[in-house]
Structure 1
Amino acid sequence: MSSSTTTPLSRQPLTGVFATVPDPRHRRGRRHRLGTVLALAAVGVLAGCRTLLAVWEHARDLTPGQLRDLGLGQGRPLPSESTIRRTLQALDPDDLDARIASWMFTRTGTTGGRRVIAVDGKTMRGAKTNNSSSGDGDGGWAPHLISALDQETGAVFAQQRVRDKSSEIPALKDLLAPHDLYRRGGHR
């Protein structure tokens, strides 16, 4: 029996988590593994890409070794921008978010033997919903998010959309519920 304090999930690379995501696409006509498409999208976003076209352009600039590390075999063509877009649109966003959040949570640390988590809510600048019934005439309202950040690592391991600033505190319990906040050190 291993004496390691890490969990199997914490030793797994993010690409391993992507490999467990259920593929919503029809088997027939699939040219690229779902994990590869997700890895290319994640790397693009981490590199600062703001559009799916930019994600594809970033993937096009990766070296053969980097592409191989992300699951794209030698000589295999890159997924197109439209393939990346259609694949991401077909996913269950809540399921993907929960899988990535669980993986991120395995990378949280402790400070003085205690886990320190910062929770904050912010309204997304420059973003609007498609809700035109808001009555303000501008096509919708800016989404409000509440996030939980591990102070030791700076990793955001949970994030949830809430109605507005006044609904942050009631949403906190649901935001943190999937995570075992007391697993290290037994502190409450």
Structure 2
Amino acid sequence: MKALTVATPGGLGFPHAQQAVRITRTRTVVGTKTTRETAYLIVTLPAGQAQPDQLGDWARREWQIENRLHWVRDVTFAEDAHQARTGNGPAVAAVLRNTAIGYHRSNGETNIARATRRANRRPHDLINAVTSIQRTQ
């Protein structure tokens, strides 16, 4: 990873840019090939407030969110293929997907696709979980 301070006024076309960052990610999939990808970031914090190691940590946490939530939404729930395009439909569908993912994760599930298939076969379990009153002490 490389980060450099943007010293020219408006040098990147982003009015509050303080740093430009280049991150090269290498990924090896077992049994296949190694791929390399370069990502560029614009950061509004100066180098004194965001060192390269901190920026790398931030990027890794962001990718973890991408892998744990957005990938599941795209692949398991086929969000990109959803047909709702107008009105509140897309937002409602996204809320339902996020609720399902959160429900499964709160129950300790690590494989959301498997948990969803199981829930599809046992809808009464979901209805009971949502409608039952759980008292906490």
TM interval, shorter chain, is under 0.3
Q: Given the two structures, how large is their TM-score scaled by the length of structure 2?
A: 0.26
The structure with the greater share of residues assigned to strand is 2
Instruction: Choose between structure 1 and 2 for higher RCO, CA contacts under 8 A separated by at least 6 residues.
Output: 1
Q: TM-score, normalised by structure 1?
A: 0.21
Q: Choose 1 or 2 for highest CA Rg.
A: 2
Higher helix share: 2
